[in-house]
Structure 1
Amino acid sequence: MSFRLGLIINPLAGLGGSVALKGSDDVAARALELGAVPRAIERTRVALMAVQGMEIEILTWDGDMGADLARELGFVTRVIGKPQTDPSTADDTLAAARALKRSGADLILFAGGDGTARNVCEAVEDTIPVLGVPAGVKIHSGVYAITPAAAGELLAMLVRGELVSLGGQEVRDLDEDAFRAGRVQARFFGEMNVPVEHRYLQHVKNGGGQEDEQLVLDDIAAGFIEQMDADVNYLIGSGTTVAAIMDALGIENTLLGVDLVRNGELIASDCTAHELERLTADQSVQIVITLIGGQGHIIGRGNQQLSPELLRRAGRGGLYVVATKTKLNALDGRPLIVDSGDPELDASLAGLIQVHTGYRDAVLYPAAKPVNQ
């Protein structure tokens, strides 16, 4: 299963640092006149070298925004657009990030500074995991790895299928005009989801260093309930992990069936696929599921009521997968399995999926492509 890596390089990031311009925003031409040397491409090279030889497809923009380096390093490269100007601008970064969001990339790796992070955040917000390679003069945002090599190590962990937690990190940017005038003014612009250092069982432990299952289930339920929206149809799947959510909502649960919840109330219990389709017709749906322990199936085992029509309507973004880290770790690296009966749909759901493992705690875990893909 190939890892789909989105790549964006801001080739001019960091130009102003070596020539004392305290940034690169709107001063790139002046920096080049003063003899500044672009560094973003070389710093991205350091990160990508950590995953050379791994099964990766790089989705990127043409030229020095990513394609040239990806091809040079021998990666399978798919160019999905090109910059409109030379040198590229913030508008090109925005366009590339939006295209990568639509392309189904598992993660966007981008190289730049806080201005680049702002552009990526504006385009994708928290809808897709991202990771920054630090290449700018000023790095106030928390979405960057501490070094390019550290970015490469995190990326390698993801490609190998290790459990990597996701965390919301701030995007901040310094007002460069104020900074040049001697004033430090950093502003908050938003948050993006970023893979953080690999730490098993980091939140809820008992004295033996293992997860306390009931406490973890309570945390998973609290995290889900906090993000519930009005008028959304929640299709609550089977299993004890999902049952903890229903218990926390105070709603009777069908342990081996699928229930429909809307606005905190039980609309229908133990539904058939036809009933779910009829009751949610032309409405938004979110599907809450867990994996079968030891097997890894999230679709197609014990929840066939979740028909391909419902799954397509929810899309990848509408799947809310829950599991304890102990349960994921028991898979010993084997991927999650989607078996809806529709190979094309199964293929569209393959790749890294967010699995919610606690309160505001999630990991990225791979879902396998169908065998014949």
Structure 2
Amino acid sequence: MNFLLPVLLNSQDMVSSQTFTTKYGELWGFYTYFGSNLETKYGMWEHYGLNSTEYEVDKLGNIIDVNFNTYPANYTENNWVIVVNKSDPESSAWVASYVWSDSVWISHSVALFDSQNEYVGVYTIDMILNFINSILSTRSSQVSNTVILYAVETDSEAVIGTSKKGIQLFSIDEQTNQATRPLTITELGTFNAAREIGLFSVAIQKAKYSLKTLPDYYELSVVDAQNGITYLVAVKKITWRSVNWSLIQFLDESDVYLPIKRTNLTTIIGVCATVGCSMLVGMLLAYWITRDLSRITLDLNKLKDFHFASVYKGRNNSIKTSNIREIFQIQSSFHAMVDAFAKSLAINNSITKGNGSIVSSLPYTNQQIETSRQL
């Protein structure tokens, strides 16, 4: 299992964990977390039967500390497992966003089947969504007018990213002071710093819509009477597999139409072009993200076939990467992971053999574990 750790180290800014969950509810893999001094630490999970074991490891995979627990650690009903269709070898899905370590995350799971088309478990990656903020900020800055962008989960209306700086997107537990979940557009809109998203929420409700029932592309205007601003708003939906996001774009009307007072034909044409360009930002961004999600998903789906050797041999000739830096980094980590799986599992396909337990494939011997207990 140590072949996973170097890949995780290379992509830890984007990816927090890489795990396998067997059909028996066993889980194993690596993850990153923050220590008491906010330093990055690394851990390894081995959960099977009545045993849940977590290791603190260093960057070389050496065991620093071991935490043994005896309790049923069965993950067959967890969301990253139930999201895939266990009767369909083509099944893969993205799990709804959640908050962990004050960041929004999304998980992707791929159903794994053996050579007899028998379901053996799921492979899952947890990916941080901070790159969404970076993309939104970059795209909004490329337009001369002031543009505000939000990325929202369509079904839950949870806000997963924004081009605005310094906005708290999470619900905070008052007792623990820890982030628990993303705020919805209605909840976020109660803060003055994000009034526009709240006004948008009220406007679509008055029009008898929810974000889920809005058309694929929708335009409206909302008035912020408190600040004397009228926003031109455009909504573009992103739909790919189980990903359902909406990009919401706000454009200050006065910022666009004020030059028209000069009644100059050239100015009017320029303003119209600017408005068109600005409103296209959201549509183009939706297209780019959809395209890149499709590439990421297709690569991950190749894992299901267990043809790791052929995937590895053909990888250098088949990469189609994103022109968005953040997504390119994520894709690169996924490609590197496919390579790692290919090298390892082309030699040893023991995951599909034996009695269904992963105990025999654990990377550490009992002697090593006993030694680590004494540390």
TM-score, with structure 1 as normaliser? 0.23
Higher strand share goes to which structure?
2
Which of 1 and 2 has greater Rg? 2
Higher helix share goes to which structure?
2
